[in-house]
Structure 1
């Protein structure tokens, strides 16, 4: 399977998660999450699974084999997540981490996958007597790898003496607009909420040509980071500034979508070289994301942690584009089409 087909499967899963999150959110809530951060954690769990659990994970991830998932992860690290900041492009970092209890050793095949496909080093820690310290270590790792934007990926009570492994990912993105907005032109205007009321929010405006496509019931705007052609002339053009944080227990969403076996205490037998491997299960997968969009560009970050425990879009006419009502947004890597972040803004004033 080539990378474009694999990315197509990745996008399918990403949009499935987005649909579930958006349809089950509370009213007037803003959402942002990073499917690119969740996928590697699921990939590592898949690589350590066998039997019905492995089959269910592969089906959910739209893959035929574990090797397809590992290959995608390896190619994304190399092709997509190479930091382009030094070349004048967006700064993008993508890091995986694995923590394993000091009493256990990873199976050689799994250790090889962790190191080669996911570029992660396995740290041996003492979960059994120092669970609080390990929690702090993982949270500090996430904070460092997201430039301080995600300060706590693991809740204080999520790791205890029965924890045996943690798989984590951190993504950081910072890109300047190809054509920055003039901050002196930013003015407050009405943003119309779903309930019919409105709030005053700061809108950024521009007279530059933009990437816009119009469909029968919606419009799509593309704001590139330091690249691109095929721009269209716009009439009225304004989009709101916003800054939001969002966190959720991804494991609960995954269960709601039918992925249940990894959380049931059976099938995670290919991770550690010990009889203990027969009794491992994923207790929780936590995810947090942050994004800020302003006149300069976009800064975003996400972290995901899975805790494994021992069982107990061509228009030539001038178009208006005024985002004065709830909208969806994505941050996408255009070389492959990988969706880095997906979100929904119901009220730009809500953080």
Structure 2
């Protein structure tokens, strides 16, 4: 799921699955990150709950005891079996079967340590993760470049540095990473010749001019619905999939835009509603195309990155950051701690479609180491979701 408000207003953005309750913690994490972004820079922000879910699920597969229970609680599952069968995990297989998307996981372990065979088997079979031995102790910078290179390759070079300088050092034992790439063409492309500059109203009252897209003059219907305090727009993607028999079919991917009216409901109010009820997105996705009058959607392109340790602490994940039990992952794993959870995501929406990428990298070190016609004119902050 994704949510945003271009080009200069406070926004949030997520890419995820129709996963019900299992996405709620990642949505709350997005809210924590959004509050910090709004207070610090007043900028747009974007995160991928699916990427975060995949990276932390990979970590959870190698945990034991209370460390595992905290991570499972954050991921919305009662057990590893339930986690591996969750909707987000099923979506992983779907993404790997589409030519327009990619999903990749990797594990890098210091050569002085050995990954547990059961963890290697689970990481490979459930998440398609590859494992590589590197020398963090003597050449941490080269290891950092290898991880960033893996992410760059998986995201078509749109995310080239998710691990910042200094994020790994000689004390690092493990790094786990996930990367997602999505490219979807609109089922009903916008008319590129009709794109024009128009005012966009930012939260602080400033008005800026940005490029707006619209459809051709013969496109009188769109998937729009009006709800108390906001309205919704569904924009389907033209993505082909194949069923179990090998027959071609349409994959049900779409972008959902949620536009608050700004009077009775603000962007923050609308976001809180989405976070409080995981089924909110599904219940407010327009099912029917209806006649439209004015129809304007802005083009937008931006990226956002953050480190999530402090936010995850607020949401109840503490053991993993303070001498957690990772004995199911690597030899000597009882003394490991997560030292960083790095996330970066990008979005590019234009007349032809959407390109979205996300990456999540978790670094780990030994404890004690340092670390009637309906108008839809989106001329103010709105939420969106790739569903």
TM-score (norm 2): 0.78
Q: For the Cα contact (< 8 Å) 1:285–1:304, is it kept in 2?
A: yes
Q: Supply the distance in 1 between the matched residues of 2:57 and 2:196 (Cα, whole angstroms).
A: 45
1:267 matched to 2:279: no
Q: Supply the distance in 2 between the matched residues of 1:266 and 1:318 (Cα, whole angstroms).
A: 57
Q: Supply the distance in 2 between the matched residues of 1:164 and 1:145 (Cα, whole angstroms).
A: 23
2:203 to 194, 210, 215: 194
**Paired residues for 1:186-335 under 5 Å:** 186-206=195-215, 207=217, 208=219, 209-226=221-238, 230-272=288-330, 274=331, 276-312=332-368, 317-332=372-387
Q: Supply the distance in 2 between the matched residues of 1:94 and 1:243 (Cα, whole angstroms).
A: 21
**Paired residues for 1:86-235 under 5 Å:** 91-206=100-215, 207=217, 208=219, 209-226=221-238, 230-235=288-293
Q: Which stretch of the first structure deviates more once superposed, 25-34 or 293-302?
A: 25-34
Q: Supply the distance in 1 between the matched residues of 2:18 and 2:208 (Cα, whole angstroms).
A: 42
> Residue by residue, what CA displacement relative to the aligned partner does 1:166-197 show, whole Å, maximum 9, x if unpaired?
11000000011111111111110000111112
Q: Supply the distance in 2 between the matched residues of 1:117 and 1:217 (Cα, whole angstroms).
A: 41
Q: Supply the distance in 2 between the matched residues of 1:319 and 1:301 (Cα, whole angstroms).
A: 32
Q: Supply the distance in 1 between the matched residues of 2:222 and 2:232 (Cα, whole angstroms).
A: 11
Q: Supply the distance in 1 between the matched residues of 2:90 and 2:188 (Cα, whole angstroms).
A: 30
Matched residue, 2:270:
none
Shift of 1:135: 0.4
Q: For the Cα contact (< 8 Å) 1:71–1:117, is it kept in 2?
A: no
Shift of 1:83: 4.0
1:20 matched to 2:20: no
Secondary structure of 1:25 counterpart:
helix
Structure 2 unaligned blocks of 5 or more: 1-16, 239-249, 253-286
Q: Supply the distance in 1 between the matched residues of 2:29 and 2:179 (Cα, whole angstroms).
A: 18
Q: For the Cα contact (< 8 Å) 1:6–1:68, is it kept in 2?
A: no
Shift of 1:130: 1.3
1:37 to 35, 42, 51: 51
Shift of 1:101: 1.2
Q: Which stretch of the first structure deviates more once superposed, 95-104 or 7-16?
A: 7-16
Distance 1:74 1:220, change over 3 A: closer
> Residue by residue, what CA displacement relative to the aligned partner does 1:250-290 show, whole Å, maximum 9, x if unpaired?
22221222211111112222111x3x212101000100000
Matched residue, 1:10:
22
Shift of 1:322: 0.1
> Residue by residue, what CA displacement relative to the aligned partner does 1:300-324 show, whole Å, maximum 9, x if unpaired?
1111100011112xxxx32000000
Matched residue, 1:54:
68
Q: Supply the distance in 2 between the matched residues of 1:113 and 1:159 (Cα, whole angstroms).
A: 25
Secondary structure of 2:317 counterpart:
coil
Secondary structure of 2:21 counterpart:
helix
Secondary structure of 2:85 counterpart:
helix
Q: For the Cα contact (< 8 Å) 2:26–2:52, is it kept in 1?
A: no
Q: For the Cα contact (< 8 Å) 1:153–1:305, is it kept in 2?
A: yes
